[in-house]
Amino acid sequence: MLKISHIQCRVNNIKKAVSDFEKAGFHVEWGRNPKNSLNAFIWFEQGPFLELFEMKRFMSAISFPLGIIYGKSMRERWQKWMVQREGLIDFALEGYEEDIAKQENLNLVKRKINNLGIGTSKVLNGRRKKPSGEVVTYGFFLSIT
pLDDT in tens, 97-126: 666 556 677 888 888 889 989 888 888 778
* Three-class secondary structure of residue 116 per DSSP: coil
Quote the pTM value.
Answer: 0.81
Q: Which residue has the higher pLDDT, 93 or 145?
A: 93
Distance CA 10, CA 39 (A): 9
CATH of residue 17: 3.10.180
The answer to whether residue 145 sits within a structural domain is: no
The answer to whether residue 81 sits within a structural domain is: yes
Please state the rounded mean pLDDT for residues 16-44: 96
The answer to whether residue 49 sits within a structural domain is: yes
Q: Any residues with CB less than 8 A from the CB of 110 and at least 6 apart, and which?
A: 120, 123, 141
Distance CA 14, CA 40 (A): 8
pLDDT tens per residue, range 46-96: 999 999 999 988 888 888 888 888 788 888 888 888 898 999 998 888 777
Q: Which residue has the higher pLDDT, 144 or 51?
A: 51
Confidence (pLDDT) at 1? 65
Distance CA 17, CA 11 (A): 7
The answer to whether residue 11 sits within a structural domain is: yes
Asked if residues 100 and 2 have their Cβ atoms less than 8 Å apart, the reply is: no
Domains in the chain, number:
1
The parent domain of residue 44 ranges over: 2-140
